[in-house]
Amino acid sequence: MILFKNATLFDGKTFYEGTLDLLVREGIIETFGQNVSAPGAEILDLGGKVLSPGFVDLHCHMRDPGFEWREDIESAAAAAAAGGFSTAVAMPNTDPAVDNDALVRYVIEKGIRAGYSRILPAGAVTKRREGKELAEMGKMASAGCVLFTDDGAPVGSSRLFRTALQYSQSLKVRIMEHPEDTSLSRGGQVNEGRCSSLAGLKGIPASAEEIGVFRAISLSRETGVPVHLTHLSTRESVSLVREAKKEGLAVTCDVTPHHLRFSEESVIESGFDSRFKVNPPLRSSDDIESLWEALADGTVDAIATDHAPWHLDEKDLPFPEAPFGIASIECAFPGVFTCWLNRGKPFGLDRLLALFTSGPASLLPGEWPSHGRLTRLGKADLVVLDMDLERKVAVEEWKSKARLSPWEGLSLFGWPVLTMVEGRVVFDRSRE
Amino acid sequence: MEWKHRHVLDLKDWKREDILFLLDQAKNMDNLIDRPIKKVPALRGKLVVNLFFEASTRTRVSFELAEKLLSADVVNWSASGSSVSKGETLRDTAWTLEAMGADAVVVRHGASGSAHYLARKLKRAVVFNGGDGAYSHPTQALLDAYTAWKSFPNLEGRKMAILGDVLHSRVARSDIQVFRTLGCEIVLSGPETLMPFDVKSLGVTYEPDPWKAVKNADIVYLLRIQRERQEEGLFPSLDEYHLRFGADEKLVSKAKEGALVMHPGPINRRVEIDSSIADGTQSRILQQVRSGVAVRMALLYLCLGGVMA
Amino acid sequence: MTLREKAKLMSETDMERAIRRMAHEIVEMNKGLEKVVLVGIQRRGVFLAQRIRDVLRQFEQVRVPTGELDITLYRDDLTLLHDHPVVHSTSMPLDITGRHVVLVDDVIYTGRTIRAALDALMDLGRPDIVQLAVLVDRGHRELPIAPNFVGKNVPTSRDEVVEVRVSEIDGINEVVICERQEG
pLDDT exceeds cutoff 60 at A206: yes
Yes or no: say if A238 and A285 are a contact pair by the CB < 8 Å rule: no
Q: How many pairs of residues across A and B have Cβ atoms under 8 Å apart?
A: 79
Amino acid identity for residue B19 in this structure? I
Yes or no: say if A321 and A398 are a contact pair by the CB < 8 Å rule: no
Give φ, ψ of A361 to 5 degrees.
-60, -35
Going along chain A from its start, the domains and CATH numbers come out as 2-50+379-398+411-431 (2.30.40.10), 54-372 (3.20.20.140)
Chain B: residue nearest A321 by CA?
B111
| Chain B touching partners, 3 or more CB pairs below 8 A | A, C
What digits encode the pLDDT tens for the residues A38-85? 999 999 999 999 999 999 999 999 999 999 999 999 999 999 999 999
Closest-CA distance of chain B to residue A209, Å: 17
pTM of the complete model: 0.91
| Strand (E) or helix (H) holding A168 | helix A158-168
Best of A186, A198, A404 to substitute, by most chain B Cβ atoms within 10 angstroms, is A198
| Chain C touching partners, 3 or more CB pairs below 8 A | B
Residue among A194, A271, A321 minimizing CB distance to B198 = A194
What is each CA distance from B247 to B191, B220, B226, in whole angstroms? Answer: 14, 9, 16
For the domain made up of B16-136+289-304, the CATH class stated in words is alpha beta
- Tally Cβ neighbours within 10 Å of residue B47: 18
Amino acid identity for residue A135 in this structure? A
Cα–Cα distance, A39 to A24 (Å, whole number): 13
For the domain made up of C13-79+89-154, the CATH class stated in words is alpha beta
Residues of A in contact with B112 (CB under 8 A): 189, 199-201, 272, 319-320
Yes or no: say if B274 and B226 are a contact pair by the CB < 8 Å rule: no
Give me the CATH code for the B138-285 domain, please: 3.40.50.1370
Residues of B in contact with A194 (CB under 8 A): 198, 201
Of the residues A254, A306, A381, A386, which is catalytic?
A306
Chain A: residue nearest B10 by CA?
A271
Inter-chain touch B197–A271, beta carbons under 8 Å: no
Cα–Cα distance, B302 to B307 (Å, whole number): 9
Yes or no: say if B101 and B254 are a contact pair by the CB < 8 Å rule: no
- What integer is the mean pLDDT of A152-179? 96
pLDDT exceeds cutoff 60 at C79: no
Give φ, ψ of A173 to 5 degrees.
-110, 125
Residues of B in contact with A319 (CB under 8 A): 111-114, 117
Best of B89, B112, B121, B132 to substitute, by most chain A Cβ atoms within 10 angstroms, is B112
Residues of A in contact with B169 (CB under 8 A): 200
Closest-CA distance of chain C to residue B275, Å: 37
Catalytic annotation on A313? no
Cα–Cα distance, B163 to B174 (Å, whole number): 14
Q: In degrees, to the nearest 5, what angle opens at C-alpha C116 toward C-alphas C110 and C120?
A: 160
Inter-chain touch B113–A199, beta carbons under 8 Å: yes
Name the stretches of chain B with pLDDT < 50.
81-83, 307-309
pLDDT exceeds cutoff 70 at A144: yes
Average pLDDT, chain B: 93
Report the pLDDT value the prediction gives residue B61, as an integer from 0 to 100.
95
Chain B residues with a Cβ under 8 Å from any Cβ in chain C: 1-3, 25, 27-29, 31-32, 35-37, 39-42, 70, 298, 301-302, 305-309
Yes or no: say if A173 and A145 are a contact pair by the CB < 8 Å rule: yes
Annotated domain spans of chain B: 16-136+289-304, 138-285
Inter-chain touch A316–B91, beta carbons under 8 Å: yes
Residues of B in contact with A200 (CB under 8 A): 112, 133-136, 167-170, 173, 196
Q: Complex ipTM above 0.90? A: yes
Yes or no: say if A240 and A214 are a contact pair by the CB < 8 Å rule: yes
| Strand (E) or helix (H) holding A58 | strand A55-60
Yes or no: say if A59 and A87 are a contact pair by the CB < 8 Å rule: no
The residue among A375, A200, A226 whose CA lies nearest residue A301 is: A226
Cα–Cα distance, B143 to B299 (Å, whole number): 11
The residue among B293, B298, B35 whose CA lies nearest residue C91 is: B35
What is each CA distance from A42 to A3, A45, A50, A220, in whole angstroms? Answer: 6, 10, 18, 49
Cα torsion through B291, B293, B297, B300, rounded to 10: 110
Closest-CA distance of chain B to residue C123, Å: 6
DSSP-derived pairing of the beta strands A302-303 and A251-255: parallel
Cα–Cα distance, B179 to B204 (Å, whole number): 11
What digits encode the pLDDT tens for the residues B140-178? 999 999 999 999 999 999 999 999 999 999 999 999 999
Annotated domain spans of chain C: 13-79+89-154
| Neighbour-count burial for B98-127, b at 16+ CB within 10 Å, e otherwise | beeebbbbbbbbebbbbbbbbbbbbeebbb
Residues 6 or more apart in contact with residue B90 via CB below 8 angstroms: A317, A318, B109, B114, B117, B118, B121
Cα–Cα distance, A150 to A164 (Å, whole number): 11
What digits encode the pLDDT tens for the residues A86-130? 999 999 999 999 999 999 999 999 999 999 999 999 999 999 999
